[in-house]
Structure 1
């Protein structure tokens, strides 16, 4: 039998080298340095969501928006007159106080050990779980960024992006089309303001007609919430009938012409992405996909975008400011 010792030694040495250099993330990163990290973050998220239900979808979006701008480095948490937090796509986000609370508790338990970036990654997972969604293992070991500029958010996915642009923006971050559809499925929880979609209801693309992707039976409901010419402060559920529950109904709503955002509706009307929506819905003749399983996988994949590890960045003492 061929001796496998040299191969095993190679992989062992490669693993030790990776850990020594701090490259990449791994499950159990804080097992010895801060063993209570997951329970502390979970408790903070539970308390925060009880106080403000909008915090759950807010934290999930926050993680997405953070990772798409300079990588998953918690730069979205930094305060400042022109920081990422002040950019138009990030102003509606909720839940920043939850991350701050978790950081405060972790600094008391394990000073200078746990990064804000890792807290955000854990809090995003816990927000999904609290909403009835899946639980997945979160690899940890990120470090915090030092730069946060509103101008860097220009390439964030937008509510009116066509599918080709959505795919391109995702591919730039190492995410494929299935990841895109899966991650946008996070819209199964949360709401959107009228300003992000009311243009679809009355004079879409100068036609003086509504967006044809909207089910005519759904149109009166949206128009009642968002009158022509008014944006107000009304917020509309992105997954009608299941706005606080993390489930598969979001994809059924897309199929039924009840996608609220234009970018969401296009997931069904464009054949490139429709096939993945169909697979999540278990359409006969197609290989099915389990949304709960795939969502966790895609979140782990997204959570490894452009990481700062080892000696890069820092472990911020406050999530709102660099040290």
Structure 2
């Protein structure tokens, strides 16, 4: 986060991770998940709705392939039209990046204002209808999370609370001695006997 303009936060060390690291083993929530279902999923990991909203704020430096939001541009909920919650400005820009029937899966930044900088502008943008992913847009509209988003936009201490949520995420389903290993290098997995994904 520090290298992207954010602030330093302490990361807890010594966590045991699985002996196999495969993207296919990680079950992340889909971008079209409802706010209520997302809250339930995070709650099953002992994370609060506030934690969830701050963690989605990680999209301030994220990108997404067109295939993850193309339905919002052309056939939202099988209506034959775009998502009415998306601003016309964003719709125009994303349709340029993601033309209907394209043979390539282009990418777009999830924070349309400061895509390479960690800040709370992501939350300002979703308030304006500039959320690229459906779940990002919905947290600014749903009564379960709208107040949290509104508070973050006005909060000068975003970095501290984002860091706290990241630390809590790092405590999710820590493995025991028998199940995993403490990695001395994040690029190396020592054994191949088990697997682990945060949202499995």
Q: TM-score range by the shorter chain?
A: 0.7 to 0.9
The corresponding residue for 2:196 is none
**C-alpha displacement at 1:163, in angstroms?**
0.5
**In 1, distance between residues paired with 2:3 and 2:19?**
31
1:238 to 77, 90, 110: 110
Secondary structure of 2:17's aligned partner: coil
1:136 aligns with 2:9: yes
Does residue 1:319 correspond to 2:191, yes or no?
no
**Aligned equivalent of 2:33, options 161, 178, 183:** 161
Matched, 1:175 2:42: no
Q: 1:260 aligns with which of 132, 135, 140?
A: 132
**Structure 2, unaligned runs of 5 or more:** 193-200
Deviation at 1:291, TM superposition (A): 1.4
Distance (whole Å) between structure 2 residues aligned to residue 142 and residue 202 of structure 1: 43
Q: 1:251·1:280 contact (CA, 8 Å) conserved in 2? A: yes
Partner of 1:229: 101
CA distance in 2, matches of 1:226, 1:210: 13
Deviations 1:103-125 (A, max 9, x none): xxxxxxxxxxxxxxxxxxxxxxx
What number of residue pairs does the alignment pair up? 190
Distance 1:144 1:213 in 2: 39
2:65, 2:7 → 1: CA distance? 27
Following superposition, the deviation at residue 169 of structure 1 comes to 1.1
Correspondence for 2:79 among 207, 224, 228: 207
Deviation of 1:132 (Å): 0.6
Tell me the CA shift for residue 160 of structure 1: 1.0
Q: CA deviation at 1:167?
A: 0.6
* 1:217 aligned residue (89, 92, 100): 89
Q: TM-score w.r.t. structure 1 length?
A: 0.55
SS at match of 1:192: strand
How far the C-alpha of 1:308 sits from its partner, in A, is 2.5
| CA gap 1:145/1:246 in 2 versus in 1, 3 angstroms | same
Name the counterpart of 1:15: none
Residues 257 and 130 of structure 1, relative CA distance in 2, 3 Å threshold: same
Q: Distance in 1 between matches of 2:129 and 2:156?
A: 21
Q: Could you say which structure has the greater relative contact order, defined with CA pairs below 8 angstroms and 6 or more residues apart? A: 2
Change (3 A) 1:175 1:289: farther
Superposed displacement of residue 239, structure 1: 0.4
Matched, 1:195 2:64: no
Unpaired runs of at least 5, structure 1: 1-127, 283-287
1:47-91 residue CA offsets vs partner (Å, 9 max, x unmatched)? xxxxxxxxxxxxxxxxxxxxxxxxxxxxxxxxxxxxxxxxxxxxx
Asked whether 1:274 is paired with 2:146, we answer yes
Label 1:170 to 1:136 Cα distance change in 2 as closer, same or farther (>3 A). Answer: same
Following superposition, the deviation at residue 242 of structure 1 comes to: 0.7
Q: Which structure features the higher share of helix residues?
A: 1
Check if 1:298 corresponds to 2:165.
yes
Aligned partners of 1:251, 1:131: CA distance in 2, in Å? 17
User: Residue 151 of structure 1: CA displacement?
Assistant: 6.3
Report the Cα offset of residue 204 of structure 1: 0.7
Give the corresponding residue for 2:197: none
- Contact 2:113/2:122 (<8 A) preserved: no
Q: Distance in 1 between matches of 2:24 and 2:106?
A: 27
- Output the CA distance in 1 between the equivalents of 2:2 and 2:103: 32
